[in-house]
Structure 1
């Protein structure tokens, strides 16, 4: 007899009405409870299901693993300017040394230091490791010879989504693959 998957390990991937995930990073997931509520509200279509079955006194159903919204939710025009989105834009790479780091090991750097009139904006902030940030200090790139690998610019929502696809979360159910990795080559088996 196989072990029953705990309910907490059965989130549903949420797709927009065009069958693309609402977001890739963080991945658009709903708890099993929210997924069930949406099914009964008839605001979603069940695309795929887990093997896990839940029951009430009058009803039995398999938990959904992928849901699509019936109504399209337009994406924001400009992404929020957050520390995490800067890291995502830069691919979690220090823009000075090029090494990749985990989020908690990163900081951000003002290319033109604030002490020199630099502003905290998309076009003046880059991802930096702590060592490079300390080495650069309050100098300009020309003064210290440290130039960002890519010019900082405001990304589009699409660019952040594309970058997010390169950093999958720890848990991916097999039924989600068709909706998360449209750019992978199909292999004939």
Structure 2
């Protein structure tokens, strides 16, 4: 029976830390099937679950892992990096002035022209129209106040927010590991 080759995008593996939690939620900690197979052969991971797909060589057949767990615990960094993506994630990909989720950029609550700095505590996600409308004005002058006060998020804050934005592809074998600590419905 002919089996078409496995494409590089197909069959990513969910990567769990040694405590069986994903390394990150958003973006979800995924490895390509090639990187996963390499980690298996280097004895860096344990296979938790597998796909039905296999890869073959002339002398070997191997089912592709869908979930792997690192053998050595990787301590997450304590503070998330201050990046545009993490600002958007902290603010749930929502304009902090009007609530839209499109055409996002970021805004300095206290404008740089007024001494505002580019820090967690002064930058919020904003749509382009709101950013242009506010311009270089202070929030009170523009009558525009962010819906939440900007703050430096913890990794836990970003993980929690990331759970609200699942990736386009979720394999059924991943679900037990992605949402194991969410509250169950009665």
TM-score category (smaller protein): over 0.9
Post-superposition shift, 1:3?
Answer: 7.8
Deviation at 1:4, TM superposition (A): 5.5
Shift, 1:57, TM fit: 2.4
Q: Secondary structure at the match of 1:160?
A: helix
Q: Distance in 2 between matches of 1:119 and 1:84?
A: 18
Is the 8 Å Cα contact of residues 5 and 52 (structure 1) preserved in structure 2?
no
SS in 2 for 1:168: coil
For 1:114 and 1:137, locate their aligned partners in 2 and report how far apart those are by CA, in whole Å. Answer: 11
- 2 CA distance for matches of 1:148 and 1:26? 25
User: Residues 51 and 184 of structure 1: is their aligned pair in 2 closer, same or farther, counting only changes over 3 Å?
Assistant: farther
Partner residue of 1:107?
105
Unaligned runs of 5+ in 1: none
Q: Say whether 1:46 aligns with 2:52.
A: no
In the alignment, what sits opposite 1:185? 184
Point out 4+ residue stretches in structure 1 off by more than 4 angstroms.
1-5
Mean Cα displacement is larger for which, 161-170 or 5-14? 5-14
Q: Which residue does the alignment assign to 1:24?
A: 25
| Partner Cα distance (2:131, 2:175) in 1 | 37
| Cα-Cα RMSD | 1.8
Instruction: Tell which deviates more after alignment, 110-119 or 161-170.
Output: 161-170
Q: Which residue of 1 aligns with 2:76?
A: 75
State the partner residue of 1:141: 139
Per-residue CA deviation, residues 69-115 of structure 1 (Å, 9 max, x unaligned), is 011000001100000000000001100012223xxx10000000000
Residue number among 171, 183, 188 corresponding to 2:169 in the alignment = 171
Displacement of 1:26: 1.0
| Number of matched pairs | 184
Structure 2 segments unaligned to the other structure (5+ residues):
none
Q: C-alpha displacement at 1:59, in angstroms?
A: 1.9
TM-score by length of 2: 0.93
1:61 corresponds in structure 2 to 62
Deviations 1:126-171 (A, max 9, x none): 0000111111010000111100000000000111011111101111
Shift of 1:60: 1.3
Residue 154 of structure 2 corresponds to which residue in structure 1? 156
